[in-house]
Amino acid sequence: MTPAPRLACSGATTLEFALGLLIFLTFALGIVDFSRMLFTWNAASEVTRYGARYAAVCDDTFRADEVLAQMQELLPQVQTIAVDWSPAECTAATCEGVTVGITDLNYQWISPIAGAVAPLIAMPQFSTYLPREVMRLDPNSAAICP
């Protein structure tokens, strides 16, 4: 009997390896993408809290663009926020609190399979309310204000 040629076996092994590697990389990228999404979710929650803190302590001019700039230093993906001081039409001396929220944040997949099926995932709206603090009226405070 003649032994079977080894070339046919090595081609089958290569094909099996390629298919197995494709499945492994799909799962690995899926795990990495899911971890990135959880990180973005947590970062958005913390950035919202930070923006509310900045607005409650420092923003005596009531400018949402300054709050957005502070938030973008920590999470550049944030593009749209809502800042509401309460009560409406208050001044630095009469405000009771501030609500800051991220209104439009989308998550971009990096995995090629998930990115083809769902290129952008809309994340929920994040919102935080904080009561008014000194709003730069405390001369002894070395707060987070620039």
pLDDT digits (tens, 9 = 90+) for 42-58: 999 999 999 998 888 87
Cα gap 143→145, rounded to integer Å: 5
Residue 146: predicted pLDDT: 63
Cα gap 80→100, rounded to integer Å: 11
Residue 43: predicted pLDDT: 94
- Bigger pLDDT: 128 vs 12: 128
Label residue 16 exposed, middle or buried (CB < 10 Å: 0-12, 13-18, 19+).
exposed
Residue-level length of the chain: 146
- Bigger pLDDT: 10 vs 139: 10
Other Cβ atoms closer than 10 A to 14: 10
pLDDT surpassing 70 at residue 82: yes
Residue 26: predicted pLDDT: 84
pLDDT digits (tens, 9 = 90+) for 108-128: 887 777 667 777 888 889 999
